[in-house]
Amino acid sequence: MTASLADHPHHHDPARDHAHSEVPSDPALRTKALESLLTEKGLVDPAAIDAWVDAYETKIGPRRGAQIVARAWIDPQFKARLLQDASRAIEPLGFLGREAQHIVVVENTPAVHNLVVCTLCSCYPWGLLGLPPRWYKAAPYRSRSVMDPRGVLAEFGLALGNELEVRVWDSTAEIRYLVLPERPAGTDGLTEAALAELVTRDAMIGVAKVESPKGRTA
């Protein structure tokens, strides 16, 4: 991904200046400053914050989404339910939470490639994919994915032929989208758990394909 999407400018808000201190312009620094202030006042526990971040990064995302994809690859009946009513299909797995209540799953095929974006903010199925990547929240990705999806995908290293239809899905506070990638070649003998290990967060957003164990893509 090029710097045009991965990076976005920082801005300084004079209205937030204090008489004796300057609020950091970098969002990460501002977040750290806020965390330090709340910790100092005894309102938050840094250990609890670290545990929350670790849970979303390593235990929830993107493992839950990957398990759903792998199950759909090996279970045609589950896949049919998933595409018809994803929230109801996922509910028995216990993966639905505050950020994953109303899920719509869209399937990649040899004729169609799907790409997910949130043009207004950064709506995202945290409960399935974990923490959203920084570029997903950046204004260039949010705007250009709609105007030039093929160009954006090319910057991620995914060049698609003109014969392939690209569909862009705009997530909202009410509906979060999840891409069901194509199953890669050479995976017929793999177990569900082994298949889940191949599935990446980027593939479930639609900016990548799932690679086969030998490095070939579907």
Per residue in 186-196, pLDDT tens?
Answer: 999 999 999 99
In a domain, 158, yes or no: yes
Q: In the beta sheet, which residues pair with residue 176?
A: 103
Q: Which of 123, 145, 171, 212 is catalytic?
A: 123
In a domain, 12, yes or no: no
In a domain, 22, yes or no: no
In a domain, 31, yes or no: no
Coil vs helix vs strand at 94: coil
What pLDDT sits at residue 169?
A: 97
Is 121 a known active-site residue? Answer: yes
Percent of the chain whose pLDDT exceeds 70: 67
CB neighbours of 165 closer than 8 A, spacing ≥ 6?
111, 112, 113
Residue 54 CA from chain centroid, whole number? 16
pLDDT tens for 33-69 read 665 666 676 666 665 555 545 555 555 667 999 999 9
Among the ranges given (58-67, 136-145, 169-178), the one the predictor scored with the smallest mean pLDDT: 58-67
Burial (CB < 10 A; 0-12, 13-18, 19+), residue 78, is: middle
Rg (CA), the chain: 19
Number of helical H runs and strand E runs in the chain = 12, 4
CB neighbours of 156 closer than 8 A, spacing ≥ 6?
1, 202, 207, 208
End-to-end Cα, the chain, rounded Å:
21
- Whichever domain contains 164, its CATH number is 3.90.330.10
Is 122 a known active-site residue? Answer: yes
Q: Which of 4, 87, 122, 212 is catalytic?
A: 122
CB neighbours of 7 closer than 8 A, spacing ≥ 6?
138
In a domain, 189, yes or no: yes
Q: Which of 118, 143, 145, 171 is catalytic?
A: 118
Instruction: Note if the pTM is more than 0.75.
Output: no
In a domain, 7, yes or no: no
| Higher pLDDT among residues 119 and 9, named by residue | 119
- Rounded distance between C-alpha atoms, residue 103 and residue 70, angstroms: 17
pLDDT tens for 81-105 read 999 999 999 988 876 655 456 899 9
pLDDT band, very low/low/confident/very high, at 205 (cuts 50, 70, 90): very high
In a domain, 41, yes or no: no
- Rounded distance between C-alpha atoms, residue 96 and residue 89, angstroms: 10
- Residue 168: pLDDT over 90: yes
Is 171 a known active-site residue? Answer: no
In a domain, 184, yes or no: yes
Domain that includes residue 115, residue range: 61-205
Q: Which of 4, 21, 36, 121 is catalytic?
A: 121
Is 118 a known active-site residue? Answer: yes
Helix H or strand E encompassing 169: strand 165-170
Total domains in the fold of the chain: 1
What pLDDT sits at residue 68?
A: 96
What pLDDT sits at residue 155?
A: 97
Among the ranges given (20-24, 47-51, 62-66, 122-126), the one the predictor scored with the smallest mean pLDDT: 20-24
